[in-house]
Amino acid sequence: MDLHVVGPLASPVERAAIESVTGPREPTLGGHAARGGHEARDRRHLLLPTLHAVQSRVGWISQPALNEICRRLSVPPAEAYGVASFYALLALQPRPPVVVHVCDDIACLARGAGPLCRDLEAALGPPGTPKHDGLATWLRSPCLGLCEQAPAALVSTAGVAPMHRTIGHVDLDAIAGALATFAQADASAAIDDANASGHDHLPAGKVVAPQAGQVGLRLLARIGTIDPTDLAAYRASGGYHGLERALALGAQATVDEVLASKLVGRGGAAFPTGRKWAAVAGQSATPHYLVCNADESEPGTFKDRILMERDPFAVIEGMTIAAFAAGCERGYLYIRGEYPDAEATMTRAVEQATAATLVGSDILGSGFAFDIEIRRGAGAYICGEETALFNSIEGKRGEPRNKPPFPVEVGLFGKPTVVNNVETLANVPLILRDGGEAFAHIGTEGSTGPKLFCLSGNVARPGLYEVDFGATLGDLIDLAGGVEGGRSTQAILLGGAAGVFVGPDQLDMPLTFEGTRAAGATLGSGVVMVFDETVDLPAILLRIARFFRDESCGQCVPCRVGTVRQEELLHRLATNRLNGTRDDETRLFNEIAQAMRDASICGLGQTAAAAIGSAMTNLGTFAAPGRP
């Protein structure tokens, strides 16, 4: 069936944005693109970068622009629309060029985002209301990964010099000022000032890693002590010794070192890293790909962002060692769209590493070739699931695939693929530098190595902390200065929105995989979010339910329907407008949760009720009538 796109033509500005990714438009034969068949389909992976280019230049994606993208990439219009409409950061309706995304997710709610958003609505109108002659607006946003700086916002400006900037510890004046400043006619000067400020937007005394400079740190050893953009400083601190040793050992011996370390994935699944590499290395199909999953969108998680912003070469070195061990020819670093600073820092670092022959065609004269391409997400929590991430890179909707086959056999572009998250890969240079056995002696028998934890909520010093596996939950909270203001602890969320709530009676829980399992909890992605006695916990649970409802990709019925029904049920409990008795509602919640756990395609649906159910069981939340 031949598909034709009809309608108005894209503007010159839109075409220029498209060509910045696709290159000049090719000649046509009888009105059809000269490129066709497999060659045309091979360009579909450019769909998301092209959509980003138009959005960054114009502020939204018009139908003529989408039509032009379809022509250039030979993508059916319905499929292109399905992709563009999938992502929260892309707009298919007119939107002002200046947008401030204000986080109202759980970490920010615990630190005042609720009153802030109410004040914004009173002062600026509801979200989406045009301000400053239609040049600016504000929107509510799910977690921006700035939980240690809550409440937080993301400023995006479209134009010749588009800008994306995160701002921590925001208030009404800061947001109103950002809207006014960037809506000025001479916005370019403001953008230059904002870009020049880099990380200096943090107020005095606020740091992302409070342990910076302490003796004995491993993963955080360089953060706050060297310039993250200085490759020479990274190498002088011991960087690239791990890669040099891996190249000297050979691929199989490198895998053996990682197996000996007992390193498991730090993204939440905890799969043995060495086994994954060995499985890909043993596949006969080529090429092999490596994907660094930096789409950490779990509310409360920000460790990968800080590693990329403050120690980018460690991530690149880890990727390169993993690629060498598994025989991967190309790597993709998929960074969530809400991380502009991380994307800019990693882009510069990859360029420097390539110029120094640490990435590219002949790494350190070894003959090993490995290239890294950075891809930017567009606001979809589900793309943290590895197969949804593959689909996103390939230019499809970010929906999970059924397993098996598993990525080690059929992954990105249908080829064997290693997928590791940022923290996992940051451990790899340490293992190769010091040896797998030495790494295995850190922590406990079942949980080896150092571990990063994201502390946020009502603690005195929110930030990223490193401890050896085996420290207790109480030890970690003490490192962060305890509960802010000396108030009492109401609840602690472990693992993020898909994790588990525990009470203050669990402070002696060992932070290990085996210790949390024994307590019916989870380490998940390393979230430790503390809620003091002043927090409205039912409101937090309602926000978690809304998060999963919004982020469900809708592909499978249990998750698509279950997340909606779950939120409706919580609203009934919160307002005491019950269908039957409270026990009836609790039984219905358990049935919905069981259906989602048993029948959802991926982990989103399988864990969508976990935190909420744990709060109801462990803390008695919603056990008493709520407030109407």
DSSP assignment of 497-547: TTSEEE-GGGTT-B-SHHHHHHTT---TTTEEEEEETTS-HHHHHHHHHHH
Cβ pair 613, 590 in contact under 8 A: yes
The residue to which tokens 């590499």 are assigned = 277
Question: What pLDDT is attached to residue 42?
Answer: 80
Beta-carbon neighbour count of residue 444 at 10 Å?
16
Task: Report the C-alpha gap between 529 and 214 in whole angstroms.
Answer: 23
Cβ pair 225, 212 in contact under 8 A: yes
Question: What pLDDT is attached to residue 200?
Answer: 38
Task: Report the C-alpha gap between 272 and 147 in whole angstroms.
Answer: 28
In the chain, what percentage of residues exceed pLDDT 70? 92
The residue to which tokens 């502020």 are assigned = 59
Minimal CA–CA distance to 60: which of 84, 24, 86, 80?
84
Does residue 223 sit in helix, strand or coil? coil
Question: What pLDDT is attached to residue 31?
Answer: 44
Task: Report the C-alpha gap between 460 and 293 in whole angstroms.
Answer: 30
DSSP letter for each residue of 132-172: TTTTEEEEEES--S-GGG-SEEEEEE-SSS-EEEEEES--H
| pLDDT-flagged residues of the chain (< 50) | 1-2, 29-34, 185-205, 626-628
The residue to which tokens 């360089």 are assigned = 222
Q: How many Cα atoms within 13 Å fall on the side-chain side of residue 509?
A: 25
In whole angstroms, how far apart are CA 48 and each of 45, 69, 115, 346? Answer: 7, 10, 35, 19
Cβ pair 549, 564 in contact under 8 A: yes
236: CB partners within 8 A, 6+ apart: none
The distance from CA 391 to its chain's CA centroid, rounded to whole angstroms, is 16
Q: Buried (b) or exposed (e) across 397-412, using 16+ Cβ within 10 A? A: bbbbbeeeeebbbbbb
Question: What pLDDT is attached to residue 30?
Answer: 44
Cβ pair 153, 169 in contact under 8 A: no
Question: What pLDDT is attached to residue 26?
Answer: 67
Cβ pair 338, 145 in contact under 8 A: yes
Cβ pair 459, 110 in contact under 8 A: no
Task: Report the C-alpha gap between 9 and 409 in whole angstroms.
Answer: 43
Helices 312-326 and 241-249, axial angle in degrees (round to 10): 10
In whole angstroms, how far apart are CA 207 and each of 75, 199, 462? Answer: 45, 10, 9
Task: Report the C-alpha gap between 428 and 273 in whole angstroms.
Answer: 10
On whether the pTM is more than 0.85, the answer is: yes
Question: What pLDDT is attached to residue 191?
Answer: 39
- Burial (0-12, 13-18, 19+ Cβ within 10 Å), 24: exposed
Does residue 372 sit in helix, strand or coil? strand
Minimal CA–CA distance to 33: which of 17, 22, 21, 45?
22
